[in-house]
Amino acid sequence: MTYVITLPCVDTKDKACVDECPVDCIYEGLRTLYINPDECVDCGACEPVCPVEAIFYEDDLPAEYSQFLEINASFFNDLGAPGGAARLGPLDKDQPAIAALPPQDE
């Protein structure tokens, strides 16, 4: 199981969750953040600090955001589990479904 970042984060990227994550498993793409499901330890520290309420535990993911489980996971298909987001820094890519979204209003 893992936590999932959903639509409210797109074009927002507050990063409060990054500061709270004890295992550094939240990676930054161009338009949103992604939680690596292989590195997440399900501690839940990220969820309550998200100011836009974009983070959900996999089992609690609202139906309207169900596609974000696969979106988050597939972001790591080529990247794998590098063992920490801070080491890589912001990545110059997004998952294709995120990249295709129109700009989100703030």
9 located within any domain = yes
92 located within any domain = no
Q: What's the confidence (pLDDT) of residue 105? A: 75
Q: What's the confidence (pLDDT) of residue 75? A: 97
Between the alpha carbon of residue 10 and those of residues 5, 43, 53, 63, 81, the distances in Å are 9, 23, 12, 18, 22
86 located within any domain = no
Task: For residue 41, give the CATH number of its domain.
Answer: 3.30.70.20
Q: What's the confidence (pLDDT) of residue 31? A: 97
Query: How large is the average pLDDT for residues 12-23?
Result: 96
- % of the chain surpassing 90 pLDDT: 94
Query: How large is the average pLDDT for residues 73-95?
Result: 94
Domain interval for residue 46: 3-78
13 located within any domain = yes
21 located within any domain = yes
Instruction: Return the beta strands (E) in the chain as ranges.
Output: 3-5, 26-28, 33-35, 55-57
Contact predicate 29/88, CB 8 Å: no
Query: How large is the average pLDDT for residues 74-98?
Result: 95
pLDDT tens, position by position, 34-64: 999 999 999 999 999 999 999 999 999 999 9
Number of domains within the chain: 1
102 located within any domain = no
pLDDT at 106 over 80: no
Q: Rounded CA gap, 8 and 13, in Å? A: 9
Q: Rounded CA gap, 5 and 16, in Å? A: 13
10 located within any domain = yes
Q: What's the confidence (pLDDT) of residue 34? A: 98
93 located within any domain = no
Query: Global pTM?
Result: 0.95
> In one letter, which amino acid is 2?
T
